[in-house]
Amino acid sequence: MKYEEFGKQIIELVGGKDNIEAVVHCMTRLRFTLKNRDLADAEAIKAMDSVIDVVSNKVSFQIIIGTEVAEIHPEIMHLLGFESNEETKTNKNIVKRILDIVSESITPILPAMMSAGLIAGVLSIFTVTGIISPESSTYVIFDSIRTAMFYFLPIFMAVSASKRLGAPMYLGILLAVTLLSTSINGVEGLELFGLSLPTITYSNSFLPILLGLWFMGQVNKMVTKLMPKSLDYFFTPLITILVTLPVTLLFFGPIGTWLSDGLGYIFQFISDTFGSWLVVTLYAACQPFLIMMGAGNFIVPLILNEYAVNGFDAMFTPGYIISDFAVCGAMVGYFLRARNAKQKQFFGTVAFSAFMGITEPAVFGAFIKYRRPFLAVIIGGGLGGLFAGIMQVKGYAMVSLFGITSFIDDAGFSNFYFMIAALAIAFIGAVVAGYLLWMPKTEEQEATPEIMEGKSALNKVNLVSPVAGVTIPLSEIKDKAFSTGALGKGIGIIPEDKLIKAPISGEVVTLFPTNHAVGIKNEDGIEVLLHIGIDTVELNGEHFTALVKQGDKVSANDPLIEVDFAKVKEKGYDTTVAMVITNTQDYLEVVPNMTNEQELVTVIL
């Protein structure tokens, strides 16, 4: 948890868990409802590094932090043991919720998996070259790291997923080790309450334990509510595990096994019908799109299932490494074509990041902006994936490029050589495609400052006024989050019209549920926050009508929100609209223009 220590400090300084009735957040601050306001140490909170200010009024105790409050709030809710209503609202799609849970549970243990894979690769080199014998105790000891990683996978999942699913962590671990015990794991002829249990191997599998943890969370929540406090410490854990274990053995174990086998049959069918080459080709070509949509980790359960069923993966493991190398190649092509030092530095940096197996900087920093690199990866990655698929390259561990030796198998080096060839094809194909598909001249001109008379003719973007009214410096806004410039540079407007409009063309990336704040991001990456009124979040959306929704594309001057400012004033709220560039630090300068509504704020790129 990135903000765990910060959250613990905040909770302690507001008087502890028992003093907190509720905590919500708006765009910039945490709002606590406290039982006893006197227990909160406002001065100590103000002294914290990430805190801008503390505001205490009759409605709530507010801690002004900044735009990262959206990341801090869920962790504080978790530390408090409160349910996040926002999470419930935003994850209504059951399929997406399941995929998110699986992905978030697996992500923390990926470093351990990759370490095991790298060790397997090194051992493969040593055994094939005769440095170490597979029968030697040295080999057995180090190979135990790989076998232990996957055999005890349910325990790793119990640690990473318990809190996410509402299950007590140590009870989750107890459930996992019980399933892996020699008296249950893979044992035939077991009976429970006179009912025959199917023979299930729980090692190497993650679905039964995930289902069991979910059920344990539900049981624990129910028992905690019903159990008297005086008996809770001893009997709630006891009842939780006694109920969860039999249900897991009778229902979730078989269901998880059926799902696992089903996935294996699906990909076996694809492989038998079309050939695994098709899956490798498509995934190697299209992985950047999945990363862009936040679905990059959806293949991890599929890979683990292939390892568990077949002992290898001939589709996704080669595919994702080939795709990463193709992304690197596309950026190298752009690097070779770039005409100035700034471009070369950028494309060189993201190319190196992709080479190391981290492609997000390239995808979000270059691919989305210039679009044509997607085509370069489709070409390079597709060719490399096609070759790997035709040669039936098999992956034995989840590794990055530096674990490529794990492709050496018992048959020798042929699988390894074919993988190297596939990477070379993907890289060279993407380099050539990236070089030839270089950005159009219009985009190149925007990305390249012209040199005139020894000075740089800097690119700039103008923001129009979001609402008719009287402009004021940001420093005069009666809210320290804005007046101090902590949230970025910008300007204030005392509105004289009820319609809030887009100051710039772009995408609505944030629309707060109470409609009092909206964020827009344009194609240059400029992030604009419009905050309508001071403390107007307390109106819970009353008198605010959203005319757009999150994800909408808007043009400058398009209507965003309609506000009945007269009624907002009647209720005693300041109606000043703040417009700030929240990523001010990314640009050379942000200049407010007090008298020009068509160039109210200028961002110099």
Name every residue whose Cβ is closer than 8 Å to that of residue 396 and which is 6 or more positions away in sequence.
Answer: 117, 120, 307, 311, 312, 313, 317, 406, 407, 409
Residues 577, 500 contacting (CB under 8 angstroms): yes
Give the pLDDT of residue 454: 34
Asked if 162 contacts 169 with a C-beta cutoff of 8 angstroms, the reply is yes
pLDDT of residue 499: 94
Nearest Cα neighbor of 574 from 488, 486, 481, 493 is: 493
Long-range contact list for 364-369, CB < 8 A, 24+ apart? 364/292, 366/331, 366/334, 367/288, 367/292, 367/327, 368/292, 369/523, 369/525
Q: How far apart are CA 397 and CA 118, in angstroms?
A: 8
Whether residue 445 is predicted with pLDDT greater than 60 in this model: the reply is no
Is there a contact between 47 and 6 (Cβ–Cβ < 8 Å)?
Answer: no
Query: Which residues have C-beta within 8 Å of that of residue 383, sequence separation ≥ 6?
Result: 425, 426, 429
| Listed ranges 310-314, 369-373, 553-557; the one with the highest mean pLDDT | 553-557
List the Cα angle 282/284/286 in 5-degree steps. Answer: 65
Strands (E), 369-497: 450-452, 455-457, 460-463, 469-472, 490-495
Q: How many CA atoms lie within 13 A of 147 on its CB side?
A: 7
Does the pLDDT at position 240 exceed 90? yes
Q: Is the pLDDT of residue 519 over 80?
A: yes
pLDDT band at 37 (very low <50, low <70, confident <90, very high): confident
Please tell me which of 33-42, 261-270, 427-436 the model is most confident about, judged by mean pLDDT: 427-436
Q: How confident is the model at residue 332 (pLDDT cuts 50, 70, 90)?
A: very high
Closest among 527, 569, 513 to 67, alpha carbons compared: 527
The position carrying tokens 């351990």 is: 112
Q: Is the pLDDT of residue 257 over 80?
A: no
Least confident segment among 233-247, 307-321, 449-463, 477-491:
449-463
What pLDDT, on the 0 to 100 scale, is given for residue 96?
56
Report phi then psi at 394, rounded to 5.
Answer: -115, 140
* The predicted structure's pLDDT at residue 200: 84
- The model scores a pTM over 0.85: no
CA angle 215, 219, 223 (to 5 degrees): 175
Confidence of residue 89 (pLDDT cuts 50, 70, 90): very low
Domain 460-604 fold is Glucose Permease (Domain IIA) (2.70.70)
DSSP letters, 34-47, are ES-GGG--HHHHHT
Evaluated on CA atoms 443, 377, 297, 96, the torsion sign reads positive
What confidence score (pLDDT) does residue 116 get? 73
pLDDT bucket at 449, cuts 50 / 70 / 90: very low
Spatial contact of 394 and 388, defined as CB atoms under 8 Å apart: no
Class of 4-90 in CATH: alpha beta
How confident is the model at residue 229, as a pLDDT? Answer: 77
d(CA 574, CA 494): 9
**What is the pLDDT averaged over residues 145-150?**
80
Q: Is it the case that residue 298 has pLDDT exceeding 70?
A: no
Of the two residues 69 and 539, the one the predictor is more confident about is: 539
Structure tokens at 244: 């969860």
Is pLDDT larger for residue 93 or for residue 143?
143
Average pLDDT of span 92-117: 65
Contact 474, 539 (CB under 8 A): no
Q: What are 285's two structure tokens?
A: 């070509």
Tokens of 576: 């000043």
Which of 11-25, 335-349, 522-536 is predicted least confidently?
335-349
Is a pLDDT exceeding 70 seen at residue 34? yes
* Catalytic residue of the set 10, 13, 20, 26: 26
What's the mean per-residue pLDDT of the chain?
81
- The yes-or-no verdict on residue 371 having pLDDT over 60 is yes
Other CB atoms within a 10 A radius of the CB of residue 129 amount to 9
CA distances from 351 to 263, 325, 347, 403 (A): 34, 9, 6, 19
Q: What is the pLDDT of residue 433?
A: 93
Q: Where are the beta strands (DSSP E) in 250-406?
A: none
Q: 307, 150 in Cβ contact below 8 A?
A: yes
Measured between alpha carbons, how far is 70 from 68 in angstroms, rounded to an integer? 5
Share of residues in the chain with pLDDT > 70 (%): 83
pLDDT tens sequence across 405-422: 778 877 778 888 999 999
Decide which of 93 and 47 is more confident. Answer: 47
Highest mean pLDDT among 7-16, 91-100, 131-140: 7-16
Query: How confident is the model over 167-211, as pLDDT tens digits?
Result: 888 999 999 999 999 999 888 889 898 888 888 888 867 778 888
Q: State the average pLDDT over residues 584-588.
A: 73
Which residues have C-beta within 8 Å of that of residue 484, sequence separation ≥ 6? 52, 53
pLDDT of residue 597: 78
Task: Write the CA distances from 42 to 34, 250, 289, integer angstroms.
Answer: 13, 53, 46
| Rounded (10°) angle between helices 372-390 and 414-436 | 160
Annotated domain spans of the chain: 4-90, 111-260, 274-446, 460-604
Question: Tokens in use for 3?
Answer: 């903000």
**26 carries an active-site annotation:** yes
Q: Tell me: pLDDT of 312 over 90.
A: no
Per-residue pLDDT, 420: 93
Residue in the block written with tokens 């407010």: 592
C-alpha 534/C-alpha 499 separation (Å) is 17
